[in-house]
Amino acid sequence: MVTKTFTVITNEGLHARPATLLVSESSKYKSNIFIEYNEKQVSAKSILGVMSLGIHPRSNFSIKIDGVDEEKAIEGIEDLLNKERIAE
């Protein structure tokens, strides 16, 4: 199990393109990937779930990964969030 917390830096929060990118990336991995925000938890592979969290700019969220490729997954996701300036 791997958990990491991030802070949103993009202006629009985790809506639209950022959400789509995160879901695309998460869907590549076999492990179960969850995103937690404001005491709600959804699968990071679900676009509806991620968007429905309504994550605002400058807020914190956590990614929880459990599975065979959890190390690769957290690396890939963190890479994406940093490169696309979504969160850090």
Partner 1 sequence: MTRVIKGIAASEGYAFAKAYRLIHPNLTVIERSIEQEELEIERFHTSLNKVRLDLEKIKKKVVEQQGSENAGIFDAHLMILKDPELVSETEKEVKEKKVNVEVALKSVTDRFIALFEQMDNEYMRERATDIKDVRKRILAYLLDVSLPNPGLINEEVIIVTDDLTPSDTAQINKKFVRAFITNIGGPTSHSAIMARSLGIPAVVGTKKASEIINNGDYLIVDGLEGNIQINPTSDIVEKYKSLSSKFKKEKLELEIFKYKPTLTRDHVKVELGANIGSLQEIDNVINSGAEAIGLYRTEFLYMEKSKLPTEDEQFQAYKTVLEKMNGKPVVVRTLDIGGDKHLPYWDLQGEMNPFLGLRAIRLTLKERDIFRTQLRALLRASNYGKLKIMFPMVATIEEFREAKMLLKEEEHNLIEEGHTVKNDLEVGIMVEIPSTVILADHFAKEVDFFSIGTNDLIQYTFAADRMNESVSSLYQPYSPAILRLIKMVIDAAHKQGKKVGMCGEMAGDSIAIPLLIGLGLDEFSMSSSSILRARSQINKLSKADMKILVEKALTLQSYDEVQELVESEINRIFVV
Q: In a 10 Å sphere around its CB, with 0-12 CB exposed, 13-18 middle and 19+ buried, how is residue 26 labelled?
A: buried
Residue 64 engages partner 1 in binding (rule: CB under 8 A): no
Stretch that binds partner 1, among 19-27, 60-68, 69-77, 79-87 (CB under 8 A): 19-27
Question: Of residues 57, 69, 72, 76, which one binds partner 1 by CB under 8 A?
Answer: 57
What residues are labeled active site?
15
Question: Of residues 51, 67, 69, 78, which one binds partner 1 by CB under 8 A?
Answer: 51
Per the DSSP assignment, residues forming a β-bridge with 87 are 8
Spatial contact of 83 and 64, defined as CB atoms under 8 Å apart:
no
Residue 48 engages partner 1 in binding (rule: CB under 8 A): yes
Cross-sheet strand order for the sheet of 60-66: 2-7, 60-66, 32-37, 40-43
Q: Which residues bind partner 1 (CB under 8 A)?
A: 11-13, 15-16, 20, 23-24, 42-43, 45-49, 51-52, 54, 56-58
